[in-house]
Amino acid sequence: MRTSQYDQLDKQLQDAVDNCIEAQSLAYAPYSQFYVGTCILLTNGEMYKGANQENASYPLCLCAERVALSYAAMHAPGSEIKDIVVSTSAKLILEEVPAPPCGACRQVILEYQTRQSQPIRIILVGAHKNVWIYEHIEELLPYSFQPNFLKKNRKL
Ligand SMILES: [Zn+2]
């Protein structure tokens, strides 16, 4: 993991950060008041946004990351994901240190990364648009459950 500042990012990534922050306003978070925005940047330059969607039946809540990943998978099938940008806030004010994706989302990001055989960077946006950059999901999910564990004659 390394940190950087908005001004040091390339224009495309700056746009993804801006889209991510903007997506927070589309969150439906009446229960937690915790607003999460996501912007997925594909290698072809397309971007797909997501925001958390809560439900009175709490287990039905959807995280912003999985909303955006599913949306991108449906609208740009076969495309390669370059970055997942995530911002979190209470009352739409960016947090000094952003919350990372939950464990479920980390596992889902791993699945997409495995499918495309290319690393997916995870970029967290904090106050003043400072960013925390993880070069691949393994930095956030060591010792993960891998798809090859399900194969019959797997090697341990
Ligand atoms: Zn999550």
Two tokens at 151? 């194969």
CATH of the domain at 49: 3.40.140.10
Question: Does any domain span residue 74?
Answer: yes
Note the pTM of the prediction, 2 decimals: 0.93
Question: Does any domain span residue 134?
Answer: yes
Question: Does any domain span residue 156?
Answer: no
Two tokens at 115? 């499918």
Q: How confident is the model at residue 154 (pLDDT cuts 50, 70, 90)?
A: low
Q: For residue 100, give Cα distances in angstroms to 46, 53, 145, 147, 150.
A: 23, 17, 19, 23, 27
Positions annotated as catalytic residues are 65
Look at residue 54 in the predicted model and tell me its pLDDT.
Answer: 98
Question: Does any domain span residue 31?
Answer: yes
Look at residue 155 in the predicted model and tell me its pLDDT.
Answer: 60
Query: Is pLDDT of 47 > 80?
Result: yes
| Rounded distance from Cα 111 to ligand 1 centre (Å) | 14
| Rounded distance from Cα 141 to ligand 1 centre (Å) | 13
Question: Does any domain span residue 130?
Answer: yes
| Rounded distance from Cα 153 to ligand 1 centre (Å) | 31
Calpha distance 37→17 (Å, rounded): 10
As a whole number, mean pLDDT of residues 55-66 equals 97
Query: In a 3-state reduction of DSSP, which class is residue 56?
Result: coil
Look at residue 118 in the predicted model and tell me its pLDDT.
Answer: 97
Look at residue 148 in the predicted model and tell me its pLDDT.
Answer: 82
Query: Is pLDDT of 113 > 90?
Result: yes
SS3 track for 110-144: HHHHHHHCCCCEEEEECHHHCEEEECCHHHCCCCC
| Rounded distance from Cα 37 to ligand 1 centre (Å) | 11
Sign (positive/negative) of CA torsion 63, 68, 73, 79?
negative
Question: Does any domain span residue 155?
Answer: no
Tokens 């798809």 appear where? Answer: 147
Which helix (H) or strand (E) segment is 2 a member of? strand 2-4
Query: Is pLDDT of 56 > 60?
Result: yes
Query: Is pLDDT of 153 > 70?
Result: no
φ and ψ at 66, to 5 degrees? -75, -30
Calpha distance 50→40 (Å, rounded): 8
| Rounded distance from Cα 24 to ligand 1 centre (Å) | 14
Total number of domains in the chain: 1
As a whole number, mean pLDDT of residues 90-94 equals 78
* Structural domain of 67: 2-150
